[in-house]
Structure 1
Amino acid sequence: MKIPSGETVQRVLIQAKEENYYELFLLEFATGLRLRELAALQWDDLNLTTGELRIDKQASIVGSEVVICEPKTKAAVCTMILPPSVRRVLAEYKTKVDSRWMFPSPKKEDLPMRPSSPHKRLHRILDYAGCERVRFHGPCHTFATNA
């Protein structure tokens, strides 16, 4: 699997701002969360003062609905501390989001986004940024490589 370079990450984040996906990809590159975990995040999972982000659920698709459930393994449940720079970005982003979901559905803000949405958007962003396509799990590997 191809791991995005530092330059690719920067280009993706610059283009993600144009696509209104900056905060999602910034959080992904900073934490290595999986798509299902990102989609399930609620503002109550984040303490902006301490930077603690609680990961204890994931989003799945059942039929045509997004359903929030427990992670498949207990190892997926964790709390991580976000860097101050990411906290600042998320604090500002929160003022613009009128939803309990950190990344709500673009169609209904009272629902979480579909876990597949960032994957599709990443390919578009990579194309516009002039970068080689990578699978979405690539950012997880970028985090693990840089951690």
Structure 2
Amino acid sequence: MAGNSRSIDARGWIFEVEDTGTPGTWLPIAGLTSWSMNPGENEEVAETTAFDSDGAYEEDVMQRGASITVEGQYRIDKTSKAKDPGQAYIDGEWTDRLGIDSHNNLRWRHETQTSWVLWDATMTPGEQSGGTNEKTSWSATFRRSGKATTAAVTP
């Protein structure tokens, strides 16, 4: 069976944010060129080493977390000049929220998968930059709040 397994393309990952003004409306984030997930983000442990540990370190994981950073190019519609809806929602709606309002839903999957991973998340906008012969960059980092859930991909 190992001979039939293949690596998947990084470009096949899909990331979407939910428009809280219209629940159930998901906005794809366009222009992405890379992403990374850190499944150990915000992990906390409690040391449990005691005299009877015979000099070996011991611990219990007390908290789990995760984050995803997406990076790419700032995108606009060629005709209308409107910013990509996913990027526009993140930059225009989500960025300035504080407290309980700082949460939003993020979902992601690979195009070969039949279910979404859903996160209640907070978000930190990334830097935007560019040079003479470059396109303008865009990025955001999402941190999971609570446990992930899943949902079937529906047409």
The question of a shared fold, defined as TM-score above 0.5 by the shorter chain, is answered with: no
> Which of the pair is proportionally richer in helix?
1
Q: Larger C-alpha radius of gyration, 1 or 2?
A: 2
Q: Which has the higher contact order (CA 8 A, sep 6+)?
A: 1
